[in-house]
Amino acid sequence: MAEKQLTREDNTDTRIDYGIIFSVLILAVIGMASIFVAANHDTSTTNIARMLAMQLIWYLLGIIAVVVIMQFDAEQLWKLAPIAYGIGIILLILVLFLYSREYFNHSGAKSWFALGGVTFQPSEVMKPAYIVMLARIVSQHNNEFPVHTVNSDWRLLGKMFLWTIPIAVLLKLQNDFGTMLVFFAILGGVILVSGITWKIIAPVASAVVLLGTAAITLVLYGRSILMEIGFKNYQFQRIEAWLDPSANTSSSSYQLWQSMKAIGSGKLVGKGFDVSNVYVPVRESDMIFSVIGENFGFIGGCVLIFIYLLLIFQMIQVTFDTKNEFYAYVSTGVIMMILFHVFENIGMSIGLLPLTGIPLPFISQGGSSLIGNMIGIGLVMSMRFHNKSYMFSNSREFH
């Protein structure tokens, strides 16, 4: 390993990105308030205090995760990447046998562990492990092939897909299509910044668009073909509800229709905090944006989106400051993970995208997603933390 540059910074405060901390803190406050409103107007919620206490505990565990992850520099993350990936694969296999029967009966997905009253989704912590592993693969390949050619780029693309296929297969067996889309979004983001030529990216992207169009067409006119390869009736119903939300508002489109009604009823400035006249199923988690839209209206929704954009901008800024190839791919993966969650969750809440059960980062109730996102924040913050202490001129120095 090349000798580290002796540009040591003794002041720890200058190595901590308080802008990112502040953005996440604001989102956490919005999340706690929104969960309170959702639970307070849900007749099935019997213990609001316990729900809020559990969410607070998850936030505290997330903060611990951030502090721990920040202690690892680029070289240590590089070495830990295969271990984290391997542990994640093991957990994804175990959950196929030790899944929560209650959650399976409710959702049809074998993706949650259950211990007493606490559930945990291993695919959420697999996301940051996959991001670090993908960053290592790309960095290592670019070190071996410093000059990009069509042949070397196809090899890189093949390597990235080889490390993605086991995850996709296991998520398919879990019947968790929504989470699978997040991994594909992460993969797509890293591909775009990996240096792969557009001679490859353009046709691959076109093939993905054609495949998506063909899938939607088959949902409408060739459903039997999709059922033979494992698609379920509820997935077809979600597509139908997306294409025509008003078609069946008493059953398959009920959740989406109610969400759209709640958000629309908020109008420009909302009805005010803790005012809810429209019932939305599962609004404390998947449909939390409907609470924000109803309480604070269009302006409140725009403010929330601005906070997310600010957070993403700060993460991009940290990436440029570090000037480290491996970190750049890690940051890209984390940004794509958070960005896709925000885009999909808000999009499905207002009817622009199909329902997938993807939570809103740092706001939706639930510990698995929150811990996964906080680990991602820890990865990005470790860039600034260690960049101010010492810098690797390039990640290739510790290959």
Beta bridge mates, 120: 113
Three-class secondary structure of residue 149 per DSSP: coil
pLDDT for the residue numbered 175: 87
Q: Which of 361, 229, 248 is nearest to 307 (CA)?
A: 361
Please say whether the beta carbons of 145 and 152 come within 8 A: yes
Helices (H), the chain: 18-40, 48-70, 74-98, 101-107, 122-144, 150-174, 177-193, 198-221, 223-228, 233-243, 254-265, 288-322, 325-349, 367-387
Burial class for 1, CB neighbours closer than 10 Å (0-12, 13-18, 19+): exposed
CA distances from 117 to 113, 114, 120, 269, 377 (A): 11, 7, 10, 37, 27
Taking Cα atoms as reference points, which of 347, 328, 344 lies closest to residue 182? 344
Mean pLDDT by 10 residues, the chain (399 residues): 42 75 95 93 78 93 95 92 96 91 80 82 94 96 90 94 96 90 95 91 89 79 72 72 75 86 94 91 90 96 96 91 88 96 94 87 92 95 72 46
Q: What pLDDT sits at residue 397?
A: 46
pLDDT tens digits, residue range 247-286? Answer: 777 777 888 899 999 999 999 999 999 998 899 988 888 8
Helix (H, G, I), strand (E, B) or coil at 15: helix
Note the pLDDT of residue 236.
73
* Angstrom distance (rounded) from CA 131 to CA 365: 24
**Between helices 288-322 and 254-265, what is the axis angle to 10°?**
80
| CA 149 from centroid of its chain's CA atoms | 32
Angle, vertex CA 62, rays to CA 57 and CA 67, nearest 5: 130
Q: What pLDDT, on a 0 to 100 scale, did the predictor assign at position 5?
A: 41
Tokens representing 273 are 């905090």
pLDDT for res 8: 43
Query: pTM (2 decimals)?
Result: 0.89
Nearest of 356, 332, 335, 334 to residue 346 by alpha carbon: 356
Residue 369: name the closest of 175, 137, 176 by CA. 176
Amino acid code (one letter) for 104: F
Distance in angstroms (rounded) separating the CA atoms of residues 128 and 77 = 11
User: CA separation (Å) from 67 to 70, 72, 100, 128, 382?
Assistant: 5, 10, 30, 15, 9
Q: What confidence score (pLDDT) does residue 26 get?
A: 96
Report the pLDDT value the prediction gives residue 106, as an integer from 0 to 100. Answer: 76
